[in-house]
Structure 1
Amino acid sequence: MALNVLLAGGGTTGHVSPMLAVARCLRRRDPDTGIMMLGTEAGLESRLVPAAGFELSTIPRVPMPRRPNKDLLLLPRNLARAVSAADAAIRAHQADVVVGVGGYVSTPAYLAARRRGVPIVVHEANSRPGLANKVGAKLTDYVACAFPGTPLAKALPIGMPMRPEISQLDREVSRGGARAALGLDPELPTVVVTGGSLGAASLNAAFSAAAPELESAGVQVLHIAGGGKAAELAASVADLPHYHVTDYVDGMEIAYAAADLIVCRAGAGTVSEVSAVGLPAVYVPLPIGNGEQRLNAQPFVDAGAADLVESGKFDAGTVRSLVIPLVRDSVKLESMSRVAAARGVRDADERLADLVMSAHLRKQN
């Protein structure tokens, strides 16, 4: 009888991407595996999951207030409704295992699965775990995390599940084709700059101000400015032939292949992908949240695979004093690349799928 798995998470790409990666892995192993995703109507999963060919069931979003307010008073009622909806999804899908990756959806899924006696598998992406996975980790022996040292009981570091286009990328082999596809010079030292889908104002401002020096140094830039931010930046560098600006790149593997160095935020998915493909990095952690981005990047910085600059301190001077000399130092880049690749994990989807199977077999026995 085919295995049925319900995967709970969403809200951000950082939650949806690993869910999709492990779902595809389970289907590769057995095409008859039943897959159901659990999310909310407002999250990115409402678009990304159906587009990937998987079924999505939605439950009410339950904000977890960090201070006394109206949402805190309504929490018991809202959580009960969400748990009931998650329970209905588990029953309808006849789920054998529930996998959670954190976020608003996971807590109701964990509680509903525990009530039904359905095995739970938890995956935590960040070095500092969120509330949902702190709850989930107390309910199961099957806990995985992306980074060593994540403070969750029983957590097994397995890496971050990612798309095979990234996990199987050979940058050396793909570089020429990637640069040609992006309209880049095949020979110039190349920096990719990205602040994620929304962009990063500090990175955009710093690189725009230092653009003439980059051009003079013979450094090529692919600047992924973020939604709606490319036009202004492109206008400011219009007279520089080797400064290329775009809102987004469809498939970051092509940008990774083209780059000698990337300057980016330090979200769990980004750090995991960049290290897996052996790409030297300058991380500029997002200055809000609970500090998890700095923690995500720190092991790779300590090992010599990357540099880190605080967002508030990253300016045009940083581009001149750090980025330009680094991208022109091929020996240093090669060393950083080797360290990153050695610490990166390319088969996390298989490892998480193994945990799913272990949880299922234990329940059967």
Structure 2
Amino acid sequence: MSGQHPAPGHPARRGLSVVVAGGGTAGHIEPALALADAVRRMRPDARITALGTERGLENRLVPARGYPLELVPPVPMPRKPSTELLRLPLKVRDSVRKTKDVLERVQADVVVGFGGYVSLPAYLAARGRTPIVVHEANARAGMANKVGARFAERVLAATPDSGLAGARPIGIPLRESITSLDRAALRMQARQFFGLHPHAPTILVFGGSQGAQTLNTAFSGAAQALGRAGIGVLHAHGPKNTLAVQQVPGAPVYNAVPYLERMDLAYAAADLVVCRSGAMTVAEVSAVGLPAVFVPLPHGNGEQALNAQPVVSAGGALLVADEDMTPDKVINEVLPLGRDPQRLHMMSRATLGTGHREADQVLARIVVEVAGR
């Protein structure tokens, strides 16, 4: 541990060494990076290393945030019996061996896993050698975290019913740009940044990093009705998609963009958001107090609907099934909600009550404590 003398042949330690494993999707990577930022604020001497795979989003996101990235072979968990399942032991052995090499090279004091393809080899490589902390962001725990939780020092989760025995619910670690966001103070700057009407009711629409065809079809089909009703729209349709929208002369702008680099300003510009309900999205929307219409992904194991349920139950959001999100649904339900400031205000207060702005700091304290034992 950090108080020991370095072994012969090893370089002297330079502060706390934390390895985070959360590659694959933004939902795994962003909490890992938020934790990394919080640890750095708490312990400026800390060295953070991120584990990832060749194909994951971490190859773009991790270096952009200033952290070193170590690539290891992914271990996808097949959902059903197949020839892939028979080859799994060899893949696991190779990935675990390479992950052990990384942990030894960076002299890891603690491994923090967030689920996904890269977490399983990280847990198996650290087992019995390096303390493990597990964080589960989804309402229903994935296979990697179920394995890791069996031999972790501490197990944390976003919600009380994650399926991991003994997990402490703390919410999801979020970027400081989100947790410190003052939507009202940034509203005018944000509207100007996106070229939106300074005062019109504005709806933010996005479907994750790749966009969502359901939302694209529903809102482009309702664009003229929204314009005639005096509602502006900021719509991220996904970098691989295109969106043709007919603007109404004199109406507030309908701004369609491929991707939103400044989510903090997007949240500040909006009065209402319509989006998927991935764990990270629900956590961010709740933390900033933005009323929402959640449209869960129609496939998977139903975790997106579960992610949204606490906010919906509190009165901060509506839940609409993917097959029900049509232009008519936008016109008949989303449009009237966008023009009802009193109801939006009540929803905003309700959703703020479900948020966890301090989760990054709570997890960072636990990680530093475990590493120091």
Contact kept? 1:141, 1:154, Cα under 8 Å: no
Contact kept? 1:204, 1:233, Cα under 8 Å: no
Cross-structure match for 2:57: 44
Aligned counterparts of 2:149 and 2:68: Cα–Cα separation in 1: 26
Cross-structure match for 1:155: 167
Does 1:229 find its partner at 2:229? no
Deviation at 1:88, TM superposition (A): 0.9
3-state SS, counterpart of residue 54 of structure 1:
coil
Cross-structure match for 2:144: 132
Does 1:322 find its partner at 2:333? yes
| Aligned positions of 1:38-77 closer than 5 A | 38-77=51-90
3-state SS, counterpart of residue 356 of structure 2:
coil
Does 1:268 find its partner at 2:279? yes
Cross-structure match for 1:210: 222
3-state SS, counterpart of residue 244 of structure 1:
strand
Cross-structure match for 1:284: 295
3-state SS, counterpart of residue 57 of structure 1:
strand
- State the AA in 1 paired with 2:238: G
Aligned counterparts of 1:165 and 1:233: Cα–Cα separation in 2: 32
1:9 to 22, 27, 36: 22
Q: How does the TM-score come out when normalised to structure 2?
A: 0.93
Contact kept? 2:228, 2:248, Cα under 8 Å: no
Extract unaligned runs of 5+ from structure 1: none
**Could you report, residue by residue, the CA deviation over 1:175-209 in whole angstroms, capped at 9, with x for unpaired residues?**
11110111111111110111112111111111111
**Relative to structure 2, which stretch is displaced further, 269-278 or 84-93?**
84-93
Cross-structure match for 1:30: 43
Deviation at 1:229, TM superposition (A): 2.2
Aligned counterparts of 2:44 and 2:153: Cα–Cα separation in 1: 27
Aligned counterparts of 2:178 and 2:117: Cα–Cα separation in 1: 27
Higher helix share: 1
Cross-structure match for 1:307: 318
3-state SS, counterpart of residue 151 of structure 2:
coil
3-state SS, counterpart of residue 115 of structure 1:
coil
**Could you report, residue by residue, the CA deviation over 1:322-351 in whole angstroms, capped at 9, with x for unpaired residues?**
111111111111111011111101111101
Deviation at 1:213, TM superposition (A): 1.2
Contact kept? 1:221, 1:242, Cα under 8 Å: yes
Cross-structure match for 1:97: 110
3-state SS, counterpart of residue 34 of structure 2:
helix
Aligned counterparts of 2:189 and 2:252: Cα–Cα separation in 1: 20
Contact kept? 2:39, 2:368, Cα under 8 Å: no
Contact kept? 2:224, 2:248, Cα under 8 Å: no
Contact kept? 2:310, 2:354, Cα under 8 Å: no
% same residue = 52
- State the AA in 2 paired with 1:219: I
Task: Give the alignment's Cα RMSD to 1 decimal.
Answer: 1.3
Contact kept? 2:73, 2:94, Cα under 8 Å: yes
Contact kept? 1:5, 1:95, Cα under 8 Å: yes
- State the AA in 2 paired with 1:162: L
Cross-structure match for 2:133: 121
2:100 to 87, 95, 98: 87
- State the AA in 2 paired with 1:338: R
Cross-structure match for 1:106: 119
**Relative to structure 2, which stretch is displaced further, 254-263 or 172-181?**
172-181
Deviation at 1:98, TM superposition (A): 0.5
Contact kept? 1:63, 1:71, Cα under 8 Å: no
Aligned residues: 359
Deviation at 1:49, TM superposition (A): 1.3
Q: CA, structure 1 residues 241+343, in 2 after alignment: closer, same or farther (shift >3 Å)?
A: closer
Deviation at 1:358, TM superposition (A): 2.5
Extract unaligned runs of 5+ from structure 2: 3-14
- State the AA in 2 paired with 1:323: V
Cross-structure match for 1:188: 200
**Could you report, residue by residue, the CA deviation over 1:15-57 in whole angstroms, capped at 9, with x for unpaired residues?**
1111111111111112111111111111111222122211111
